[in-house]
Copies of this chain bind each other. A is one copy, B any other.
Amino acid sequence: MARDEFVAQWGSLGTQWGINRTMAQIHALLMTAPEPMCTDEVMEKLEISRGNAHTNLKDLVGWNLVRIITKKGDRKEYFEAEKDVWKIFITISKERKRREIEPAIHLLRDCADRTKDEAAGPGRAFHQQMKDLDEFLSFGVKVADTVITMKHASALQWAMRLLG
């Protein structure tokens, strides 16, 4: 079945992305699930332990890629992935900005600050390199923040203008 293939392969691709295999597989599974799934269904489908399923489901919720659904008269939690591609993109961009880019900017600023008095000598070039990297990433964040708040159609229109 194509869906099983997708789930398995998306998991492998995930590892190359620096995401753990199970988390990527669960994401793929939920993204292609017609209905929200509960922990036991995920466990069974992927043949993984409860602890593993639980941890990764909650991590996905932490990434805002998956939300918890409750059905009345049923005390289990069900999990549903965001399926809208633009929303997925926005979510991942926000999270990566927060987890990966902002800490880097802080480091760069700190290192630039610490060397700002070294007008001459080897520290000069280092200071400038830190500033250049900071400036670039900060500008990138600004662009990302703008795109993140755009509607899909507006972003598309903007990008289309670039493509000519």
Contacts and interface: CB of A to CB of B under 8 A. Distances in A.
Contacts of A132: 85
Contacts of A126: 2-3, 6, 32
A71 interface: no
A34 B125 contact: yes
B158 A85 contact: no
Secondary structure class of chain A's binding surface, majority of residues: helix
A12 to B, nearest CB: 9
Interface residues of A, number: 48
A52 interface: no
B129 A142 contact: no
A133 interface: yes
A5 B111 contact: yes
10 contacts: A2-B111, A3-B111, A6-B111, A13-B103, A34-B125, A85-B135, A85-B136, A139-B156, A142-B163, A158-B162
A162 B146 contact: yes
Contacts of A162: 143, 146-147, 158
A18 interface: yes
A49 interface: no
A69 interface: no
A50 interface: no
Contacts of A107: 6, 9-10, 13
